[in-house]
């Protein structure tokens, strides 16, 4: 079983076009599973699976009202860029570490 970090989970959740459409839709207001399923041309079961993945990534939260499940945008908003910044920083950290290594090698070979 592969263990996914929260960043991976967010990314995996966002990697699917249906799920991105769901987030766009929920950005305009809450919706039930069937209100999400119909325009996507999907079964309720299919849409539930997508919503569940989004829920695990905390991009969506759901509440059950009677027999209907209502979906809302979750605590982890797309506007929350701290994860992206963190990953971006690691890329540059790595890059500049290598820049230092290259210079040390060059200096050594002179």
Partner 1 sequence: MSNDVREGSKTAITTPSDTEIRIERTIDAPRDLVWEAYTDRELLTQWLGPRDLSMTVEEYDIRPGGSYRFTHRDAEGNEFVFFGDILEVEEQNRLARTFAWEGMPGKQSIERAEFEELEDGRTRIVVISSFDSKEDRDGMLQSGMERGVNDSYERLDELVAQHQAG
68 neighbors 27 (Cβ within 8 angstroms): no
| Sign, CA torsion 26/28/29/34 | negative
Residues 6+ apart with CB under 8 A from 53: 12, 13, 16, 19
Site for partner 1 in 13-32 (CB under 8 A): 14-15, 17, 20, 24
Considering the rule CB under 8 A, would residue 100 count as an interface residue with partner 1? Answer: yes
What is the size of the binding site for partner 1 (CB under 8 A)?
Answer: 36
Considering the rule CB under 8 A, would residue 7 count as an interface residue with partner 1? Answer: yes
Considering the rule CB under 8 A, would residue 38 count as an interface residue with partner 1? Answer: no
Considering the rule CB under 8 A, would residue 77 count as an interface residue with partner 1? Answer: no
Q: Which residues would be at the binding site for partner 1 (CB under 8 A)?
A: 5, 7-8, 11-12, 14-15, 17, 20, 24, 81-104, 106-107
């Amino acid at each position: 079983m592969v263990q996914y970090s929260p960043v991976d989970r967010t990314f995996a959740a966002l990697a699917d076009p249906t799920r991105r459409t769901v987030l766009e839709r929920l950005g305009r207001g809450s919706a039930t599973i069937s209100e999400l399923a119909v325009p996507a041309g999907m079964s309720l079961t299919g849409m539930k699976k997508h919503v569940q993945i989004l829920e695990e990534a905390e991009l969506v939260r759901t509440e059950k009202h009677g027999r209907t499940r209502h979906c809302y945008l979750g605590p982890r908003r797309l506007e929350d860029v701290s994860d992206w910044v963190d990953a971006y920083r690691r890329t540059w950290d790595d890059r500049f570490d290598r820049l230092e290594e290259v210079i040390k090698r060059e200096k050594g070979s002179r």
